[in-house]
């Protein structure tokens, strides 16, 4: 256990990686490689589905399907890990993710059966790709809780998030480069292939280097009865945060898979950059994602330190505000590369509040119960937000409708605007009823 006098250095994960300590090396390699693959590909999937002929409702259903997987995977994953061992389970999950990326690469060439469209293979791939990503969330939280004092929780999460989100910065730039070189239809398939390679390398690395004898990941969840007990025993201070967070995330889920379409099809924003040249909307979208993550990385640690002075609640509230108003700002923006880039830089501030948010979740948990509390929290939040993308997709596909007797609005304006309304409501609820963690009060 770290003492109150010890600070959490955001560069420590990188120093540990260089030292080649076995446990840190395994975690770092797997986290970085898988995150690189996910971030290169995930934010583009709405555009890829559109290219394969999917409607906005289908794209929304894809987003909701991903939400469903994220909600249910961790628990059977933990049970399987208990039965076959964590090393074998992690290797299996890693190979599943690799195969899922390959399904995505080959989707345009895979056959359709009995009228089932080509884009259906993207859903099959998602079932596999999510296998590694959705496992071990609670254990990660518990490790941070056990490693740093309560007043340093936000900095502790900032340290782990910085390493992971460095891949989030690099991934979109790799994607933008390949898409700029080969156009989207072919370039994105190359991006998916690179994602498959990184997933395979991460799987092999964790299988060879993983120290199974010291692992306890599989013990974080213990079946349906344990889930019910954990939900009943969720600390009371978490409930206002859970309500507000769920509303904000529902709003974000309504538009998350459509942000790429808002940029590439609705606004059709392109750019000509110094030393780079012309970038079409798809390639420029990768640059926008990199700008968003660069701001997140630059602000994450300073904001987490600020939380020690002003409290976690205000910092989390700022993140919620950014989540809430970004959709309306984006869909109403002019098709100007500079303005849209500034909006994505603003969007990066939502990640700056993420370490404080995680600290506020895990802080009220009892000793050695951080993993179960986190698992319960995310189960509730992710389950409620499952239909958000499908709802957003239905709204996005509306061609034109009168709004309160005023001029008709199109689907993108309706979906993104309503997302902002829901997000603001969730933010307001949290700010009114949310509680501060004692260590920060």
Tens digit of each residue's pLDDT (9 = 90 or more) over 257-269: 999 999 999 999 9
For 272, phi then psi, to 5°, come to -120, 115
Distance CA 438, CA 426 (A): 23
Contact 431, 317 (CB under 8 A): yes
Distance CA 132, CA 98 (A): 10
Reference 184, options 290, 41, 39; nearest CA is 41
pLDDT value of position 356: 83
Distance CA 322, CA 347 (A): 6
E-state strands within 291-380: none
Largest CA distance in the chain: 66
pLDDT value of position 18: 47
Going by their DSSP bridges, the two strands 277-279 and 271-273 should be labelled as: antiparallel
Compute the CA torsion angle 416, 422, 428, 429 (nearest 10 deg).
-150
Look at residue 149 and give its three-state secondary structure: coil
CB neighbours of residue 229 within 10 Å: 12
Tens digit of each residue's pLDDT (9 = 90 or more) over 189-206: 999 999 999 999 888 887
Compute the CA torsion angle 328, 165, 35, 264 (nearest 10 deg).
30
Going by their DSSP bridges, the two strands 406-409 and 401-403 should be labelled as: antiparallel
User: Which residues of the chain, if any, have pLDDT below 50?
Assistant: 1-6, 8, 13, 16-21, 23-24, 136-143, 215-222, 367-370
CB neighbours of residue 405 within 10 Å: 5
Domains of the chain listed by start with CATH number = 12-210+221-440 (1.20.1250.20)
What does the angle CA 102 – CA 104 – CA 105 come to, to the nearest 5 degrees? 65
Distance CA 122, CA 198 (A): 19
pLDDT value of position 26: 61
Contact 325, 420 (CB under 8 A): yes
Environment class of residue 329 by beta-carbon count within 10 Å: exposed (0-12), middle (13-18) or buried (19+)? middle
pLDDT value of position 137: 47
């Amino acid at each position: 256990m770290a003492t109150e006098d010890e600070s959490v250095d955001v560069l420590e994960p990188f120093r540990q990686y260089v030292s080649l300590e076995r446990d840190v090396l395994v975690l770092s390699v797997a986290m970085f490689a898988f995150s690189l693959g996910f971030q290169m590909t995930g934010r583009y999937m709405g555009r890829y589905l559109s290219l394969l002929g999917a409607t906005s409702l289908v794209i929304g259903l894809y987003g909701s399907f991903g939400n469903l997987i994220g909600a249910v995977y961790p628990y059977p994953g933990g049970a399987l890990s208990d039965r076959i061992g964590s090393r074998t389970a992690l290797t299996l999950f890693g190979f599943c993710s690799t195969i899922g990326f390959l399904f995505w690469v080959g989707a345009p060439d895979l056959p359709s059966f009995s009228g089932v469209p080509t884009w259906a293979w993207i859903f099959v791939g998602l079932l596999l790709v999510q296998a590694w990503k959705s496992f071990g969330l609670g254990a990660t939280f518990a490790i941070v809780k056990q490693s740093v004092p309560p007043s340093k929780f936000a900095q502790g999460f900032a340290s782990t998030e910085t390493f992971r989100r460095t891949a989030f910065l690099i991934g979109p730039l790799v994607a933008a480069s390949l898409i700029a070189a080969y156009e989207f239809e072919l370039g994105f398939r190359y991006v998916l292939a690179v994602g498959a390679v990184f997933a395979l390398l991460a799987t092999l690395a964790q299988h060879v280097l993983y120290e199974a004898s010291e692992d306890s990941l599989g013990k974080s969840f213990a079946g349906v009865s344990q889930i019910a007990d954990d939900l009943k025993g969720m600390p009371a201070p978490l409930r206002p945060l859970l309500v507000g967070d769920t509303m904000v995330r529902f709003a974000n889920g309504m538009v998350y898979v459509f942000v790429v379409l808002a940029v590439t099809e609705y606004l059709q924003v392109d750019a000509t950059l110094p030393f780079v040249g012309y970038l079409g909307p798809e390639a420029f979208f990768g640059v926008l994602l990199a700008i968003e993550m660069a701001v997140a990385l630059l602000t994450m640690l300073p904001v987490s330190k600020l939380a020690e002075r002003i409290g976690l609640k205000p910092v989390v509230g700022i993140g919620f505000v950014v989540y809430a108003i970004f959709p309306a700002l984006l869909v109403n923006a002019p098709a100007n590369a500079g303005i849209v880039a500034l909006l994505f830089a603003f969007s990066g501030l939502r990640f700056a509040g993420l370490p404080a948010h995680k600290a506020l979740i895990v802080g009220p948990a009892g000793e050695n119960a951080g993993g179960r509390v986190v698992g319960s929290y995310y189960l509730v939040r992710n389950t409620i937000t499952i239909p958000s993308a499908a709802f957003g997709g239905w709204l996005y596909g509306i061609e034109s409708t009168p709004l309160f007797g005023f001029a008709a609005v199109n689907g993108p304006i309706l979906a993104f605007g309503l997302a902002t309304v829901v997000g603001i409501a969730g933010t307001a609820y949290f700010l009114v009823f949310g509680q501060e963690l004692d260590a920060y009060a």
